[in-house]
Amino acid sequence: MSQAPYSIHPTVRQLLTSDSLAEAQVVVGSDLLDRQVSQVISTIGTQPRAGSLVVTRSDALSKVELSALPLLSALVIVKTSADFGTGSSAAAGIANSATTSPTTSAAASSVPSLVDAGVQRLIKRCQEASVALIVVPSYGDPAQVIEDFRFVFLRELKHASARLYSVMLSIVLEEGLDGLVETVSGWLNRPLVVETAEFKVLAARNMGATPAAQQRNLREEGANALRNYQKSREALTPGTAPHREPSSDVNMTPFKLGRRLVFPVPLSDILVGYVSVMIRPQDDEPALCEYMHPLTLACKVDFSHRLKDSPTFSVTQKTLLKDLLSGRTLSAADQERLDRHFGFDLCDGFLVFAVDASFAEDGKANVSPSAAVAYPDDTYISCEAEGMRAFVIPYKEKSSEPWLTHAETLSARIKELNPGVRVRLGAGRLITTALDLPDAYGEARQALVVGSMIDVDGEFLLGYAELGIKRLLYLIIDHPETDRFLEENLSLLEAYDEEWESELVETLRVYVEHGANLNSTARSLFIHRHTLRYRLEQIADILKVDIDSQEVLLNLQIAYLIRDLKSGQKKR
């Protein structure tokens, strides 16, 4: 297996630079410390993994263990303080030996505080096997030294794995899956293939898709691996879905399928594909996995981008978005899926619009009123919701554009896609987190409904903050008291207009809307000021009110709002 630009395995020298291992004494092989460590174990056994670093308390090795010495990167003997003396003499021996690093038995004999008869016997063996021999004093629990080596090794391994993942991620973002597979296949000197869950090959080098005869087994093995993966994630953060960077994700356990070692690719709790590498009987599979796990994570990023454009995947996300806007509580996993798919975690805030778009009924556009409206889903986040269309607009503080600018742009885009369409839009207030999306949608929907009740047939772009008292009246519009209020304030005037075919109701409306200003009201009605004054006197006499009273004017303004809302409600 050829090497990557740098090795994922730390060297013996890297481990010894840790503060926790500063007391280690290299007795043999100071020139062998650049060997890579594949694992840290406490016993040699009969067939250790090549590059293993063995940390043991025993300096008496069996013949079988001695024969396996050439496979090791280093042998570490842990000695208690009683084995080589105590007090300042032991400390001085360690300090002196740290600078001399003896590599011969003669040199070793110069530090008797560290090297006893048992270690002396190992020196020749290690020299013959060309393996470093290291002695470490233990001033407490000897088992702690073994754990120190393991901890330092795992820390270095994690850092190297993160660097390797970073390199692979850069390759896949710049050159795509083909470039990544080509590069890693060259590093490993192995055939590679990346395929979807439906066994469509996305990138390969000297390897094809999973044979049809093995596809069923792969699905079953993949499903089992996914279940174990989900249990591992749940164990990390019980009851919730863990939120971690992709590079720190729990690795799914690979499995063998013939001559393939297969690494499933999970995304949003489903399997989206597989990464396979060809293996040989003599291969070091753990070493292979240390390169394949970062490769699989890099492929996962590519799968994520591909699936964002997948119709099936998009439908799933829109369903989740609809559930969120309607107020249904989403699981942490579903919320994370939405954030990742739509990039909600990258926004400073959100605007939510509720849109009702339909074709005019006059037939001018030669389009049926029931014809489906096309929405700009390629550039906007939207979904169907309660008979209307909900849009979520990511907001950036740097742009600081008002909601109306975004609303006008969206309306123009819808009209561009649908000539002759009528667009009515309600906007919620600006929110800062995705957790507030249900509230913002509720406001947008209310603005749309209220606007539709007031202007049944027209177009409008109406913000919730602009509703004013209308949003309060909307909440009580069906209460019987509103009917009584309307009757008390306008019914007599409506009856008079109906009997005498006059226009006093409309005259009073314009007068109220113009803030009781005689001049502007007269101009708006195209009548003389004297005519307007005469009509106002009639109105005051019919309603038995002081037409110039601020309280009366407020009551009349509210009455007209209730009248409009109820009229629009009936038409709808």
The whole-number average pLDDT for the span 283-293 is 85
Percentages helix, strand, coil for the chain, rounded to the nearest 5? 55, 15, 30
User: Are the C-beta atoms of residues 121 and 109 closer than 8 Å to each other?
Assistant: no
CB-side neighbour CA atoms (13 Å) of 72: 29
The whole-number average pLDDT for the span 73-78 is 92
Among positive and negative, which fits the CA dihedral 292, 295, 296, 297?
Answer: positive
pLDDT higher than 90, residue 528: yes
Using pLDDT thresholds of 50, 70 and 90, give the confidence band for residue 119: confident
Rg of the chain taking only CA atoms, in angstroms:
39
The whole-number average pLDDT for the span 216-225 is 88
Using pLDDT thresholds of 50, 70 and 90, give the confidence band for residue 6: low
Using pLDDT thresholds of 50, 70 and 90, give the confidence band for residue 434: confident
Using pLDDT thresholds of 50, 70 and 90, give the confidence band for residue 572: very low
Query: What average pLDDT does the chain have?
Result: 82
Question: What is 474-571's CATH superfamily?
Answer: PucR C-terminal helix-turn-helix domain (1.10.10.2840)
- C-alpha 75/C-alpha 73 separation (Å) is 7
Residue entry with tokens 């994630």: 233
What is the DSSP code (8-state) at residue 43? -
Q: Which positions ≥6 away from 47 have C-beta within 8 Å?
A: 68, 71
Q: Which positions ≥6 away from 369 have C-beta within 8 Å?
A: 358, 359, 360, 361
The whole-number average pLDDT for the span 425-445 is 92
pLDDT higher than 70, residue 321: yes
CB-side neighbour CA atoms (13 Å) of 298: 29
**Considering only CA atoms, which of 126, 128, 127, 91 is closest in space to residue 111?**
91
Residue entry with tokens 């009229």: 567
Share of the chain above pLDDT 90, in %: 32
Report how far apart, in Å, the C-alpha atoms of 500 and of each of 212, 215, 494, 503 are.
88, 86, 10, 9
Q: Give the SS3 label for residue 319.
A: helix
The whole-number average pLDDT for the span 249-271 is 83
The whole-number average pLDDT for the span 63-89 is 74
Per-residue model confidence (pLDDT) at position 93: 36
**Considering only CA atoms, which of 330, 312, 310, 311 is closest in space to residue 320?**
330
- C-alpha 305/C-alpha 314 separation (Å) is 12
Domain-wise residue ranges, the chain:
12-140, 155-308, 313-467, 474-571
CA dihedral 464, 469, 474, 480 (to 10 degrees): 170
28-55 pLDDT tens trace: 999 999 999 988 888 888 888 888 999 9
Per-residue model confidence (pLDDT) at position 22: 84
Q: What residue type is 211 in one-letter code?
A: P
Per-residue model confidence (pLDDT) at position 461: 93
Buried/exposed code over 329-353 (b: 16+ C-beta within 10 A; e: otherwise):
eeeebbbbbbebbbebeebebbbbb
Per-residue model confidence (pLDDT) at position 106: 41
Per-residue model confidence (pLDDT) at position 88: 34
The whole-number average pLDDT for the span 59-80 is 88
- C-alpha 7/C-alpha 161 separation (Å) is 9
142-198 pLDDT tens trace: 788 888 888 898 888 888 888 888 889 888 888 889 999 999 998 888 899 999 888
pLDDT higher than 80, residue 97: no
The whole-number average pLDDT for the span 319-333 is 85
Report residue 243: phi and psi, to 5°: -110, 105
Q: Which of 70-84, 231-245, 289-303, 328-342 has the lowest mean pLDDT?
A: 231-245
Residue by residue, DSSP assigns 424-458 as EEEEPPPBSSGGGHHHHHHHHHHHHHHHHHHSSSS
Q: Which positions ≥6 away from 337 have C-beta within 8 Å?
A: 268, 317, 320
Fold of 12-140: 3.40.1390
Q: Which of 3-17, 106-120, 487-501 has the lowest mean pLDDT?
A: 106-120
What class does CATH assign to 155-308? alpha beta
Three-class SS string for 270-309?
Answer: EEEEEEEEECCCCCCHHHHHHHHHHHHHHHHHHHHHHHHC
222-249 pLDDT tens trace: 888 888 877 776 665 554 444 443 334 5
Three-class SS string for 205-266?
Answer: ECCCCCCHHHHHHHHHHHHHHHHHHHHHHHHHCCCCCCCCCHHHCCCCCCEEECCEEEEEEE
The whole-number average pLDDT for the span 268-296 is 86
- C-alpha 199/C-alpha 193 separation (Å) is 10
Using pLDDT thresholds of 50, 70 and 90, give the confidence band for residue 127: very high
User: Are the C-beta atoms of residues 72 and 37 closer than 8 Å to each other?
Assistant: no
* 550-571 vs 504-513: helix crossing angle, rounded to 10: 110
pLDDT higher than 70, residue 381: yes
pTM of the model: 0.46
Using pLDDT thresholds of 50, 70 and 90, give the confidence band for residue 427: very high
Q: Which residue has the higher pLDDT, 433 or 109?
A: 433
**Check: CATH 3.30.70 for 313-467?**
yes
Q: Give the SS3 label for residue 85.
A: coil
